[in-house]
Structure 1
């Protein structure tokens, strides 16, 4: 069976298995735990003291706590990414075995935060590395006498990238033959043109 919150695909087996763990919590405690998961998805550090407090009544062990956080993270992030409304999401979660009280509680919280989640995911998805500097050298492989070229030239490339996820720069170095470099350069030009045409279309 296919589910909209899974992007029109089958629900992963591990999600099906962990739904039963969520059902062991009260709907109120699951909503509170979901609130912590949403904060974490929005970039805040997960408050493990509160997580322990919310899961204490259900007598979760460490693996149960991790499973509950993982399945809530998957449900909430996938539903936001695939822009599913709370009512159909609630129906789908009940089809997977989540009690009605739990799914209603979770989906109300999701409805209140779906726009914030989508905005945050959109911002993260557009954070691309910027090339700050490019250096290259061309090497010729010679024979032992140092006079005869044995292979085609080798191009050594060094890119200095501004990584927005690290808020710093990182250096990437790699080498390729001159023929591979020509192919690489052509593909980069094609990609640049495709990106430009997409931007113009938007």
Structure 2
């Protein structure tokens, strides 16, 4: 089964196991605090105020649980613009108790816009390159005031051109699936 919060992909079996064996056994309060702490750590790195405002019980939590909740239950859904309701419904479908799902939803609702911005700003962007000259066996381009000359044999250049055309085609297809942002 495919899940919206995972980008319409199937849930990895290891994540399902973590949900069933690890998070389902936590108290609701501990799970909510864990989700809140994960959101703060994602958005504010090591902010000592969030660490001091959590109960003693939460300080004993494994760091990998924070990363897992932060990356898989908060950042991924935000990156796919998953609605609050879908996240809650799907996470409960995967075995998290309904009350835990409600707490995750509440934390996600509070931080969704900031998480979406974090995802958007974390996308790696290469500097713009300008092609200065090209031939059947070389390309000369400039980026960040540096000039690069790339020479290849004819077969390599042909393969390079095909790879770029395929990449551009896939990027255009992908861009067509992205939601438009309100201006």
User: Would the TM-score normalized by the shorter structure come out above 0.5?
Assistant: yes
Output the CA distance in 1 between the equivalents of 2:40 and 2:18. 21
- Residue number in structure 2 paired with 1:176: 152
Question: Higher relative contact order at CA 8 Å, sep ≥6: structure 1 or structure 2?
Answer: 2
Provide Cα deviations, 1:16-51, integer angstroms capped at 9, x if missing partner. 011131223322222222223223433x32469967
Query: Between Structure 1 and Structure 2, whose CA radius of gyration is higher?
Result: 1
Aligned equivalents of 2:169, 2:9: Cα separation in 1: 32
Which deviations, in whole Å up to 9, do the C-alpha atoms of 1:117-147 show, x marking residues without a partner? 112222333x5111578899x9xxxxxxxxx
Q: Following the alignment from structure 2 to structure 1, what is the Cα–Cα distance between the partners of residues 59 and 38?
A: 19
Q: Which residue of 2 aligns with 1:9?
A: 9
SS of the aligned residue for 2:57 comes to coil
1:128 paired residue number: 125
Tell me whether 1:114 sits opposite 2:115 in the alignment: no
Q: 1:87–1:107: 8 Å Cα contact kept in structure 2?
A: yes
Q: Answer 1 or 2: which has greater helix percent.
A: 2
Taking only aligned residues, the RMSD between alpha carbons, in angstroms, comes to: 4.3
**Structure 2 residue aligned with 1:37:** 38
1: CA distance between counterparts of 2:91 and 2:169? 42
Corresponding residue for 2:92?
94
Q: 1:25 to 1:99 in 2, by over 3 A?
A: same
How many residue pairs align between the two structures?
174
**Does the Cα contact within 8 Å between 1:36 and 1:46 map onto a contact in 2?**
no
Unaligned runs of 5+ in 2: none
- Contact 2:35–2:104, Cα closer than 8 Å, also in 1: yes
> After superposition, where does 1:13-162 map in structure 2 within 5 Å?
13-19=13-19, 20-42=21-43, 44-46=44-46, 57=57, 64-125=62-123, 127-131=124-128, 155=138
| TM-score, structure 1 normalization | 0.60
Distance in structure 2 (CA, Å) of the matches to 1:116 and 1:11: 25
Contact 1:24 1:58 in 2 (8 A): no
